[in-house]
Structure 1
Amino acid sequence: MKTLLIIWMCLCTGLCMAQTSVGDGTHVTVHAGENPLETLLTEEQKQSVTHLTVTGTLLDTDYTFLRDRLYGQLDTLNLRAANIDTLPDIRTEDIWASSPNKIHLILPLNIEHLGTNFLSQFSGYNIEVTGNFPTFGASFSTPPYSYGIKVLLSEDNFSYKTKISKTPDKVPETYYSSIYSLDEETLYYMNIDDGGEYTIKEGTKVIHGTAFRNLILTMSKLILPASLDSIGDYAFEHTLCLMPVGYVNKPYPTLGHWEPGIICEAIEPPKLGKDVFKESVLMFSYLYVHEACIERYKQADGWNSAIEVRAIEKMGDYPHSVLPLKKGEENISVTTTPDSYELTFGQKPLYMEMYNTNGVLLTKHPIESSSLSIDRNRLVTPCTIVCVHFTNGTTETVKLIP
C-alpha cells in the first residue's frame, strides 16, 4: 500500500509539473493547452518574464492574455515546439486598442499560416522560420504589419536558402536578403530595406503566395525576372511601391518623375493566382514590360489593372510636364529636432508637395524663403514624402518619418 501511495504521489507531481511553468524569473518554459496560460505562470513570472517558450498548444484566450499582459515586456516568444499550424486572426479594434510591441517571434515547426492582423500587434520585430514557410493573412491596420519586418531562417532550417544582395543605391555594407527554395526556383519572401532597387533573381519561376502581401516598398522599384512563370494567391495584396523623383539606378535609367511601378521582364505574362494585385501597387502605378509584349499584358487579367502598361525600352523618356532631377544636385539639407524637421535649400525653391506612401497628394504650396520648418505632427505614418521644386528646373525628394 505504501508503494502504491508513493507511485500515486509521483504521478501527481509529474502531472502538476506538466501543467506549470519552469525556469527562472526571466526565461520561462510552459506546456500549455489544457489549462489557460495565465494560470500556468506564477505572479512573479508574469511580472518578470522576458523570454517565454511554449510547448503544447494555445487556447484562444491565451492569445488575448499574451497580447494584453505579456507582449509589452517580452523580448522573445518561442513557439518552435508548439503544436500550432495556424496563428489566429486578430480583430482590427484590438490592434488599434494597443501599442505595437517589439518581439522576436520564433514560429512553430509545423506552422502553415499567420492569420489576419496577427503580426500587426508587433513592430520592428523578427520572425524566425523554423520549419514550413507560412502564408500571411491580410492586414487592415495602418501601416500594414510588414513595414520593417525581417524574416529569418533558424540556423538548423535547411529547407530554404537565403540569398544576400547589395542594395545598389546605398553604402556597400547595406544588404537585403531573399528567401528561396533550395533549387532557387521559388521566392518565398524578400526582406525590404528602406528604399532602393529590388531584383528577384533570374531563374526564379514562382513567387510564393502572399510573399509581398502588405509590404511597403518605400521609394523603391521591383524587378521581376524573365524566367518568372507564376505568382501565388494574394502575393501582392495591399502592397505599396513608390519610386522617388529622379531615381537613377542600373540596369534601368531614371523614370524622371513620381512614378511607382513594377518592371516585369517576362515575355509571356506570368500566371496569377487569386487576387494577386488586389488593392495594391498596380492600381496606382505603371507596369513596365518589353515593348513587343505590351498588348499581351494589356489583355492579361490582373496585369491589366495597372494604370498603364509601358515599354521598358522607353523608360528614359520624360513627360513634357515634369522636369527630371539633375544628377549630382543636393539642394536640400535636413536638420532633425524633437518636434520638427528644418529644411534648408541650396537653390531657390518654387513650391513643395507632400505625399503619403500611397502616392496621394496631401498638400501643395509655394515656398518663399531659403528654409522651411515642418512640424512632425503634420506628417502621416509610416512616412511623408516631400517633393521640392526649384527655380533651376530641378526637383528633389526627401522622406520624413513622424
Structure 2
Amino acid sequence: MKKRLLSALFVMAMLCRLQAQNAETHVTVHAGETALETLLTEEQKQSVTHLTVTGTLLDEDYAFLRNELLNQLETLNLKDAEIDTIPAHAFEDFKYLGTDSIRIILPSCLKHVKDKAFCCNNPICVFELTGKYPTLGQDIFTKDLIYAEPRMEVSPDNEYCTMIEDAIYSSDHTTLHYPNYNCTEPTNGGQIIEGTKVISANAYENRAWDYKWTFTIPASVDSIGDRAFASFQIITPDMPIDSKYFRMICKSSIPPCLGQNVFYTMENPYWGMFYVNEASLYVPDESVDIYKTTKCWNRFRKIKGLSEYHPVSVNLVSLSPSLSVKDVSGCYILSSSIAIKEVRLYSLSGLLLFSTTVHAQQVRINKSILTPPYAIASVDFANGTTQIVKLT
C-alpha cells in the first residue's frame, strides 16, 4: 500500500512538473491596455516558446517582440488578436538566434501591412495567413536582393486563400498574391498558373530572377497591381549584362492594365543584376506595336513577337558562385551571387555540427555552434557547385 501511494505521489509530481513547464513555454495573454512586457513574468520571458496574444498590440509591444522575445519563440499566434493593421517595421530585422523555423500566425481580421513590416531577412521565418490577403505598403518582405526573404503560407482553415505550387492564390485561383520561390531553381520555373487574371500589388517586389528562366505571364492575366515588379532584379553572375539572357513573355494580346510603379527600378542596381528595362519582352506577333506604344510596357529594351522567341542554352555548372562571409555580432552571414541550397558545418574531427536547407542567397550561422579553433562550412549551390569556407 505504501509503495502504491509513493508511486501515485511520484506520478502526480511529474504531471504537475510537466504542467508547470508547459505553462511557462505556452503562454496566452490579452494585451492592449498595458504593455505586453508587463504581462509576462520574468520566468516566462526566459522560457516562453509559444506565445498567443489576444486583444491588440501597442507600438512598444512590437519593439519588445523584435528586440527581446522573437529570438526564442517558435510560434507567435496573433490569429484571434484584434489587429487590422501591422505597423511599419513591425518585425523588421528582429533578433533571431535559433536554427529552427519561427512561425508568426497573422490576425484573421488583418487588412493592411505597412512598409517593411515583414523585413526580417530570415528565410526560416514563416508568416501564416489566416484571413483575407491584406493590402501592402512598400518593401514588405525584403529590402533588396542581398537579404533573404521570409515564407508566406496559408492556414489549413483559410477560406479566402490557398497554396498552389508554393504560391499563395485566391481561393478561386484567379489572383496570384505571393509566390514563394527560389530565384534560381523555382518550383515549376516559378511561373504563374494558367487561368490567373490578377497579379497582386507587390507580388514580385524586390525579387530576384535567374537569367536562365524565361518569366511567363499567361494570356489570362488582365491586371497587374501597384509595384508588382518593382525592383524586380535579374541575376547574371559572371556573365555580361545582355538582354538575351533574360526574357519575359506576356501571352496576352491586349497589354494587361498596370497599377502604379509596376516596373519601378532603383537608380543603381547591384553588380551582376539588371532590371526589366534591360530585358526583352515577347508578346503575340499581332500585338507588338500595341505593347510598343503602351505606357510602362514600352520600357522594355526590346519588344518582339513570340515567333522570334528561341530558348537560350546556358551551361550553369561552369558558373562559379561569388560567396562572401560577413562577421557580425554573434553570427556569420554567408551571402552568394547564386542561391544556396544547403549548408553543412563540420568540426575539425569531421563531426557534423549543423545542417540546414536554405534555398536563398543568404544564410546566418550562429557562432555558438562552432567548435574551436575553427569549423568548416560546406556550401552547396543551386547550380550544382560546392564551396568550402573556414569559420573561426
TM-score (norm 1): 0.64
**Structure 1 unaligned blocks of 5 or more:** 1-21, 165-176, 247-255, 319-323, 340-354, 358-380, 384-395
Amino acid at match of 1:137: G
Q: Distance in 1 between matches of 2:290 and 2:220?
A: 16
The answer to whether the 8 Å contact 1:291/1:313 transfers is: yes
For the residue of structure 2 that corresponds to 1:223, the secondary structure is: strand
State the SS of the aligned residue for 2:245.
coil
> Deviation digits for residues 34-85 of structure 1, max 9, x if unmatched?
0000100001111111111110000011111111111211111111001111
Query: Compared with structure 1, are the counterparts of its residues 72 and 156 closer, same or farther at alpha carbon in structure 2 (3 Å cutoff)?
Result: same
Cα offsets for 1:159-201 (capped at 9, x unmatched): 223223xxxxxxxxxxxx2222232222222211242422212
Mapped partners of 1:258, 1:106: distance in 2? 42
Instruction: Tell me by how many angstroms 1:243 deviates.
Output: 6.6
Alpha-carbon distance, 1:258 to partner: 6.0
- Aligned equivalents of 2:199 and 2:146: distance in 1? 20
Note closer, same or farther for the CA distance 1:137–1:128 as it changes in structure 2 (3 Å cut). Answer: same
> How many residues are aligned here?
302
SS of residue in 2 equivalent to 1:295: helix
Gapped regions of structure 2 (runs ≥ 5): 1-20, 267-274, 327-335, 339-359, 363-382
Quote the residue 2:129 is aligned against: 129
AA in 2 matched with 1:133: Y
1:95-126 superposed Cα distances (whole Å, 9 cap, x missing partner):
56966985211110011222211111251111
Q: Please name the residue that 1:191 is paired with.
A: 180
Deviation, structure 1 residue 290:
2.4
Match of 2:224? 231
How do residues 307-322 of structure 1 correspond to structure 2 at under 5 angstroms? 307-316=301-310
Cα distance between partner residues in 2 of 1:139 and 1:257: 26
Alignment RMSD, CA only? 3.9
CA distance in 1, matches of 2:107, 2:146: 20
Find the aligned partners of 2:278 and 2:33 in 1 and give their Cα distance: 49
Question: Quick one: distance in 2 between partners of 1:270 and 1:32?
Answer: 45
Query: Counterpart in 2 of 1:71?
Result: 70
Q: How does 1:162-311 map to 2 (within 5 A)?
A: 162-164=163-165, 177-196=166-185, 197-219=189-211, 220-242=213-235, 259-279=245-265, 281-311=275-305
Q: How does 1:15-164 map to 2 (within 5 A)?
A: 24-90=23-89, 95=92, 103-124=102-123, 125-139=125-139, 142-143=143-144, 147-164=148-165
Call closer, same or farther: CA 1:401–1:179 in 2, change over 3 Å: farther
Name the aligned partner's letter for residue 193 of structure 1: N
Letter matched to residue 203 of structure 1: G
Per-residue displacement from partner, 1:342-390 (whole Å, max 9, x unpaired)?
Answer: xxxxxxxxxxxxx968xxxxxxxxxxxxxxxxxxxxxxx947xxxxxxx
Matched letter for residue 80 of structure 2:
A
Q: For the Cα contact (< 8 Å) 2:51–2:76, is it kept in 1?
A: yes
For 2:61, the aligned partner's letter is: D
Deviation at 1:273, TM superposition (A): 1.0
Contact 2:31 2:55 in 1 (8 A): yes
- Give 1:233 shift: 1.7
Equivalents in 2 of 1:317, 1:309: separation in Å? 16
Q: By how many angstroms is 1:157 displaced?
A: 0.9
Partners of 1:192 and 1:217 within 8 A in 2: no
Note if contact 1:136-1:213 (Cα within 8 Å) is conserved in structure 2.
no
TM-score between the two structures when normalised by the length of structure 2: 0.66
Structure 1 residue 260, shift from structure 2 partner = 2.9
Identity %: 36
C-alpha separation in 2, matches of 1:399 and 1:284: 31
Amino acid at match of 1:159: Y
The 1:317–1:46 alpha-carbon spacing in structure 2 relative to 1, beyond 3 Å, is closer
Q: Secondary structure at the match of 2:230?
A: coil
> Can you list the C-alpha shifts for 1:285-338, whole angstroms capped at 9, x where unaligned?
2222223212211211121222222333222287xxxxx647xx955799x999
C-alpha distance in structure 1 between counterparts of 2:170 and 2:78, whole Å: 23
Which aligned segments of 4 or more residues in structure 1 are displaced greater than 6 angstroms? 243-246, 336-339, 396-402
